[in-house]
Amino acid sequence: MTAIADIKRQFLNSLKRGTGEAYLIVKNNPEIDFSNQIIKGARNIYAYDGQSENDRAQYIFDIISISKQKDKIRKAVLQGLATEQDDTWNLTHLFALAKLYARQNDAEVKQAICDRFLNNPIEGSDWVGAYEILELDGLNGLFYVAEKFGKYIEQNPNDWQGDWIIKRFQEENKNIKVSEELKNKAETNKFIRIYLDNIKRTKASQEKHKSKPTKYKDIIDEVLNSKPHFSYFRKRDLTNEEVNQTAKRLIKETDKSNIERLLDIFDFYKFPYDSQIILDFAKQKRTSKNRIVEYAIYALKHLKSKEIRNFALEKIQTAKNPIDYLEILVSNYKRGDFKLLSEIADKTNNEHKIEQLAGIYTNIFKTNKTKECKQPLEILYNKMNCAIHRNGIVEILLDNNVLSDRIKNEIKFDSYEETRQLTK
């Protein structure tokens, strides 16, 4: 591999991860043509979760701004905007990138944004592009979006539209009476009228089918009968008394299905009684019929004892999936454990497992402040393509005063705005 090919490979690797190294590579190698690699980043969102992370438009646009092949890249962006049909988040990324061109008085790109909106939309993603039009043209942009939705509904009468685009625009433009403006416009524009009537129909249908909240006798009744448990109790604030009641019921419960549901609570709350009770659940044989062992392991991250630590270390060394047991170290970390964490991070290359490690290691080192965090967290930083967790990693490195000069220079140009802000 030639030196130039190696630099291009390094650049694309950084681009896919979203680190500022990509910007610095282009800046420091003006004689190299990176346009093909930049186009890949312009037409694809390489983020681990494009929905959660949103677009990387500003990140790519900054890199384009120092490229010598701007025209070639711009044409590729226009082509991608017109043709992307496979991935919603690639398309949102392209719309956001096109908006940055349009803000520089690029009339052709602005027209391309308007032309693509609701033109052969990806199924379930007819909203993509609306925000860019609103940001570029304000109230006139909203009229355009509403009219185009009306035309689409006329051709697709079974379509359902909500009012969340209007609500968001109102929240961001408090000085405008948005509903009143739309109603006035609808008097002379039948398509806007069709759009507003469709929203009314959608609201009426939702109200008709709205389910009444279930009333429970007490916390035990709620835990054993509410669904889904995972998201529900993450948001629900239990009192100390409710946590104690749940723990007492768990101790005497014999039904495995009920044990599973009760244990799930202690993923979010510390089990208030003898930790050996939870450890015994974790030591059971795993079965496909329930998730008792899994939930017990989650609960152990809040509990500390010599026995729990020994259990975790033994499983980390021998289990088929050692990552499943790492979170127990949140409350059971000891000096020197960074070596084990570094070894596991070094061996892990699957992007889903790297993402899992990032979440776990962040939790471990938030609870256990130590300069030992540097090595395992830097290994993950160099591998991961999730900018959200990367931000958490950089924050921990900063808090422990172990952020390297290399990373400090890169984060100024990171794909995640919150990470860029850390330089301040």
H or E stretch at 391: helix 387-399
Domain-by-domain residue ranges, the chain? 3-208, 212-331, 333-424
Supply the pTM of this predicted model: 0.90
How would residue 228 be classed by pLDDT, with cut points 50, 70 and 90?
A: low
What pLDDT shows up at residue 231? 55
pLDDT tens readout for residues 286-336: 888 889 999 999 999 999 999 999 999 999 999 999 999 999 999 999 999
Q: Is the pLDDT of residue 226 over 80?
A: no
How would residue 212 be classed by pLDDT, with cut points 50, 70 and 90?
A: confident
What pLDDT shows up at residue 234? 66
Mean of all residue pLDDT scores within the chain? 94
Structure tokens at 223: 């835990």
- Whole-angstrom distance between the N-terminal and C-terminal Cα of the chain? 39
pLDDT tens readout for residues 269-289: 999 999 999 999 999 998 888
- Residues 128, 80: Cα–Cα separation, whole Å: 14
pLDDT tens readout for residues 43-72: 999 999 988 998 999 999 999 999 999 999
Lowest mean pLDDT among 124-138, 144-158, 223-237, 339-353: 223-237
Whether 262 and 246 have beta carbons less than 8 Å apart is answered as yes
**DSSP states of 323-372 as a string?**
HHHHGGGGTT--TTTHHHHHHHHHH---HHHHHHHHHHHHHHHHHS--GG
Q: Is the pLDDT of residue 229 over 90?
A: no
Closest Cα partner for 385 from 346, 360, 421, 353? 353
Give the number of C-alpha atoms closer than 13 A to the C-alpha of residue 202, restricted to the C-beta side: 15
Give burial (CB, 10 Å; 0-12/13-18/19+) of 122: middle
- Residues 388, 49: Cα–Cα separation, whole Å: 9
Which residues, at least 6 apart from 309, have a Cβ–Cβ distance to it below 8 Å?
328, 329, 332, 334
- Residues 340, 348: Cα–Cα separation, whole Å: 13
